Amino acid sequence: NAGVTQTPKFQVLKTGQSMTLQCAQDMNHNSMYWYRQDPGMGLRLIYYSASEGTTDKGEVPNGYNVSRLNKREFSLRLESAAPSQTSVYFCASSDGRQKETQYFGPGTRLLVL
């Protein structure tokens, strides 16, 4: 049972490059989330998707775009990466009836030079 998977595990980008972080869940969850974790900080919400076809901004959405491709997949795109986006990115999902209980993927470590 894979749960929430994320690719890649680690990525190095140069300033100005673009990339897409992929997330998939196999638990048939309606809601999916993207968070970032910076050193000495807890996780902060970037974007979320309450259901297929909908997305909403979280606390720190600037510099990111998201796509809820289908019920399983929720991607995060950096159009023009900046050093301030160096972080660990976590995807999470939750059931529509218990949105508060979120299950996390293993994270993607992103380094922007």
Partner 1 sequence: AQTVTQSQPEMSVQEAETVTLSCTYDTSESDYYLFWYKQPPSRQMILVIRQEAYKQQNATENRFSVNFQKAAKSFSLKISDSQLGDAAMYFCAFYSGGGADGLTFGKGTHLIIQP
Among 24, 33, 78, 85, which residue sits at the site for partner 1 (rule: CB under 8 A)?
Answer: 33
Check: CB of residue 74 under 8 Å from CB of residue 50. no
Contacts of 67 (CB under 8 A, 6+ apart): 55, 74, 75, 77
Among 31, 85, 87, 93, which residue sits at the site for partner 1 (rule: CB under 8 A)?
Answer: 31
| Residues near partner 1 (CB under 8 A), total | 27
Q: How far is the CB of 37 from partner 1 (least distance, A)?
A: 8
Is 11 a binding residue for partner 1 by CB under 8 A? The answer is no
Backbone angles phi, psi at 85, to 5 degrees: -95, 5
Q: Which x/- pattern over 39-58 shows residues binding partner 1 (rule: CB under 8 A)?
A: -xxxxxx--x-x-----xxx
63-73 burial code (b ≥16 CB/10 A, e <16): ebebebeebbb
Q: What residues line the site for partner 1 (CB under 8 A)? A: 31, 33, 35, 40-45, 48, 50, 56-59, 88, 90, 92, 99-104, 106-107, 109
